[in-house]
Structure 1
Amino acid sequence: MNTLTQTADGSNTLYNETIGEHYHSKHGAVQESKHVFIDAGLKYAEEKFPGKALSILEIGFGTGLNFLFTAVYAAEKNMDIDYTGIEAYPLSQEELNSTGYDQYVPASVWESLSSQYEVALKAPARLHPLLQLFIPHIQLENFKDTKSYDLIYFDAFSVQHQPEMWSDEIIAHVCSFLKPGGIFVTYAITGKLKRALKSQGLQIQKLPGAPGKREMLRAVKNED
């Protein structure tokens, strides 16, 4: 069961009653998504891999907000994006449409997600000539893929509410999908997470956090 809630920047999020936590920061859903995943993640990847088609893996597709802003930025920059968003408990079509996120993106971007959402839950869907979306309905530990990714958005619920998603084993599993030189970005930063990432050959970068958080984390996988 998910309940619609307004955050401090005026944008909505959903409260997951099973987990006991909101999908996005109560300090601002839109602000957090743009700050952590677009500014610190996608834009950095664009600079690091100029002119390259990017493969993105999101851990916790949730409301689709990070995907929407990715799609908007990619369209503006004419970027080719192959986006996979793992989600063990996908929203219903009605819940997705209730978020109000259509007001933050061009109508064409919202319509492409809304109309293809249920298709993408079953198989890769082509939303645009340069944009593919797949939302595997699966537990993260059971996810397998033959391809590797340039960029990982790690947007699981917090360690306080979903500690199993932040275990050393899960972090190792996630990092196994990252290409050499690939980027891992998340809203959180803890000593345990930093150690887990370092053990998988990633270099840690501490960055200013989104509103409500002092710091966040970005990490880059060693090339060798």
Structure 2
Amino acid sequence: MEFVITGDGSNTLYHPEIGEHYHSKHGALQESRHVFLDMGLHHFLAKEETNEVSVLEVGFGTGLNFLLTADDATRRSLQLHYCGIEAYPLPTDVIFATGYHRFVQPATWAAFMQNYAQALTTEVDFAEHIRLKIAHEKLMDFQTDDQFDVLYFDAFAAIHQPEMWSDQSLAHICSYLKPGGIFVTYAITGNLKRSMKALGFTVEKAPGAPGKREMLRATKVG
């Protein structure tokens, strides 16, 4: 794998076996902030009066979505429970070479460097107000008693990993989302919209990150 500089100056990784980048070539940082924080986390917080939030991420990857979420939670004095699912965790040296320390507070980055390896095997107290667990397993093997407020679906595109976007996979992972919870992903297709509606979600088109006109946001009914 190799690092690629994206349109906003932030790095992403290119995965040659899958044939895709981990983030948008138009801007890794701005895609993560727009799709997952602005359209997901912030949308949830705007409709719920709470100082606690739980986030489940499919595709922990380089950790960018978590880092930005942890930094945001610190600024907002939020209690954050974050679980990322990653079947193929990146080596520690690759994670630390991303350059993402430029986009978060020094304390957030220092805690990430200290806790990343341990979080792959057990839940860690990332900070006083943040708990982190990286589930080192495939999506369909993931099991937990926890329920989550926001689901970041950041798998590789369906053209490269169709099994991640199947009705079975979506039903399994969405079972861990609370009623009223928010599902967000950078993609939007007719099949995805139909799948989410069949699972009992209200579906809406949201403005996409640079390079994409639209993205999908869905709210779990019930």
Q: Same fold (TM over 0.5)?
A: yes
Distance 1:66 1:25 in 2: 13
Written as runs of structure 1 = structure 2, the 5 A alignment for 1:115-130 is 115-130=114-129
Distance 1:127 1:175 in 2: 25
What does residue 34 of structure 1 align with?
A: 33
Q: Does the residue aligned with 1:126 lie in a helix, a strand or coil?
A: strand
Q: Does the residue aligned with 2:61 lie in a helix, a strand or coil?
A: coil
2:166 counterpart of 1:167? yes
What does residue 16 of structure 2 align with?
A: 17
Q: Percent identity?
A: 52
Distance 2:109 2:184 in 1: 24
Could you report, residue by residue, the CA deviation over 1:176-204 in whole angstroms, capped at 9, with x for unpaired residues? Answer: 11111111000000010011111110000
Distance 1:187 1:71 in 2: 20
Q: Does the residue aligned with 1:212 lie in a helix, a strand or coil?
A: coil
Distance 1:140 1:106 in 2: 31
The Cα of 1:49 is off from its aligned counterpart by 2.1
Q: Which ranges in structure 2 are unaligned for 5 or more consecutive residues?
A: none
Counterpart residue identity of residue 60, structure 1: G
What does residue 89 of structure 1 align with?
A: 88
What does residue 100 of structure 1 align with?
A: 99
Counterpart residue identity of residue 182, structure 1: G
Counterpart residue identity of residue 73, structure 2: A
Distance 1:194 1:48 in 2: 22
Q: Does the residue aligned with 1:135 lie in a helix, a strand or coil?
A: strand
Counterpart residue identity of residue 23, structure 1: Y
Could you report, residue by residue, the CA deviation over 1:67-89 in whole angstroms, capped at 9, with x for unpaired residues? Answer: 01101111110000100000000
Distance 2:9 2:51 in 1: 35
Distance 1:51 1:178 in 2: 17
Could you state the TM-score of these two structures normalised by the residue count of structure 1? Answer: 0.97
Q: Does the residue aligned with 2:135 lie in a helix, a strand or coil?
A: coil
The Cα of 1:102 is off from its aligned counterpart by 0.4
The Cα of 1:141 is off from its aligned counterpart by 0.6
Distance 1:18 1:48 in 2: 41
Distance 1:50 1:219 in 2: 19
Counterpart residue identity of residue 49, structure 1: E
Written as runs of structure 1 = structure 2, the 5 A alignment for 1:56-205 is 56-205=55-204
Could you report, residue by residue, the CA deviation over 1:120-153 in whole angstroms, capped at 9, with x for unpaired residues? Answer: 0000010111100000100001101111111000
Distance 1:132 1:38 in 2: 18
Distance 2:173 2:47 in 1: 21
The Cα of 1:45 is off from its aligned counterpart by 1.4
Q: Does the residue aligned with 2:183 lie in a helix, a strand or coil?
A: strand
Distance 1:77 1:31 in 2: 20
- Count of aligned pairs between the two proteins: 222
Aligned residues of 2:2 and 2:14 also touching (Cα < 8 A): yes
What does residue 43 of structure 2 align with?
A: 44
Q: Which ranges in structure 1 are unaligned for 5 or more consecutive residues?
A: none
Counterpart residue identity of residue 157, structure 1: F
| Worse-superposed segment, 87-96 or 47-56 | 47-56
Counterpart residue identity of residue 179, structure 1: K
Aligned residues of 2:51 and 2:77 also touching (Cα < 8 A): no
Could you report, residue by residue, the CA deviation over 1:46-96 in whole angstroms, capped at 9, with x for unpaired residues? Answer: 112222411110000000000011011111100001000000000100000
